[in-house]
A and B are shown apart, each in its own frame.
Chain A
Amino acid sequence: MKTDVEMQFSALAQQMGIARAGELRSQGTIRNIPAGTLLIGDGQPVDSLYLILDGVMSVSVDNSGRSLHLGRLGKGKWIGDVSLLSGEPLASSGVAAETPATLLELKHAVFRRLAVERPELANSIVRALIDALAERVRASDALIGSNGGGGLALEGSERVVSLEAGKDRGRLKSMLQKLAGVEAE
């Protein structure tokens, strides 16, 4: 029977082909991390792209002493793609392991080398990232537009963060999750 990690590579092979999925695996490093590991600190430098092979990662945003738990990312999702592609070296959200997790880590520097030496492989990754990014941008646009700027409130992981008069907490939280590019819980 295949493990979850092998199943995830099978899914990747279907997306980009067996040879490229195998090559991606060989270019990266498999990392097993325990629950509670802070993978990316919010606002901290990011130098790797991660593909979640197994487990659940929790995403949050911190600012001015306030912390907001945004949602969870699971198998098949990428982390560190916005930093890689936007050219912004600092993370726009924090990511921690909510459960024990297995990740394929690909250093940004390795990706950039692949873009020169193995453009077909790098392009397969870019194609996967484009689809995921488009989905997240579209979802955020729809939610921003339908929100209409009404006054709302949201609940952070440690305290309630009141932005304006509250009307529809769940809807704003959903909007913020989409804004941050993560799946709703």
Chain B
Amino acid sequence: MFFRNFLKTLPAFSHFSDGDFEALSKAMHVEQYPDGHAFIRQGEQGREMFLLVEGEVVVSRYDDLTGAGQELKDLRAGELFGLLSLVDNLPAAATCTARGAVKVASLPRTAYNLLFQFAAPIAYHFQYLIAEQLARDLYDRNQSLRRLLAGE
């Protein structure tokens, strides 16, 4: 019940119906994870999609040659991560690690694939959710570029 109510508070899920919330909350598994837990490792095939419920997750990328790491983004509650590897079936492009204790909901790839392939309202809502998150990710990058241009 807690997780279903949490989903209802998120703007990204505003177009979901009560039935969608019911199905999604049953398909996702909510768990507490300790500081430093790596949900996704760069270069490995993603097996789940995640939704940050509480706490903070850091997205980092490591240079393949030098091994030098760079933090790309801090995720906040309500953000999805782990999408790319599930969308294009390629290895993860970044590492996602818990900063402090976090609560995260996960959706297994099998459930993701079902939601992504079904021609049903919940699948349409889910796919729109994925597109929205990817668009926001790109928008953030464009804003970074704008700040670079301003010399900030």
Contacts and interface: CB of A to CB of B under 8 A. Distances in A.
Given A144-B70, A144-B72, A148-B70, A126 B131 contact: yes
Contact of B124 (A123, A146, A163): A123
A39 B146 CA distance: 19
Nearest to B87: A134
Helix, strand, loop or mixed for chain B's interface?
helix
Interface in B56-114: 61-64, 66, 68, 70, 72, 83-84, 87-88, 90, 93-94
A145 B94 CA distance: 9
**Size band of the interface chain A makes with B:** 35 or more
Interface stretch (A4-12, A23-31, A83-91, A96-104): A83-91
Contacts of A68: 145, 149
B135 A179 contact: no
B150 interface: yes
Interface in A132-185: 133-138, 140-142, 144-146, 148-149, 161, 163, 176, 179-181
A138 B85 CA distance: 9
B142 A142 contact: no
Contacts of A133: 131, 134-135, 137-138
A34 interface: no
A130 B80 CA distance: 15
Contacts of B123: 123
Contacts of A48: none
Contact of B142 (A130, A138, A148, A180): A180
Nearest to B143: A92
Contacts of B83: 134
Nearest to A152: B148
A148 B124 contact: no
Given A115-B128, A144-B61, A93 B142 contact: yes
Contacts of A38: none
Contact of A145 (B63, B127, B146): B63
A63 B141 contact: no
Contact of A63 (B94, B119, B139, B150): B150
B149 A119 contact: no
Nearest to B127: A126
Nearest to A142: B93
A61 interface: yes
Residue with the highest number of chain B CB atoms closer than 10 Å, among A66, A86, A126, A180? A86
20 contacts: A86-B132, A86-B138, A93-B142, A115-B124, A115-B128, A119-B121, A119-B124, A126-B131, A129-B131, A130-B127, A130-B130, A133-B131, A136-B138, A140-B141, A144-B61, A145-B61, A145-B62, A146-B63, A148-B68, A181-B141
Given A141-B84, A149-B70, 14 more contacts: A61-B142, A66-B150, A85-B132, A85-B135, A86-B139, A92-B139, A93-B142, A115-B124, A129-B135, A130-B87, A141-B94, A146-B63, A179-B144, A180-B145
Interface of B: 61-64, 66, 68, 70, 72, 83-84, 87-88, 90, 93-94, 119, 121, 123-124, 127-128, 130-132, 134-139, 141-151
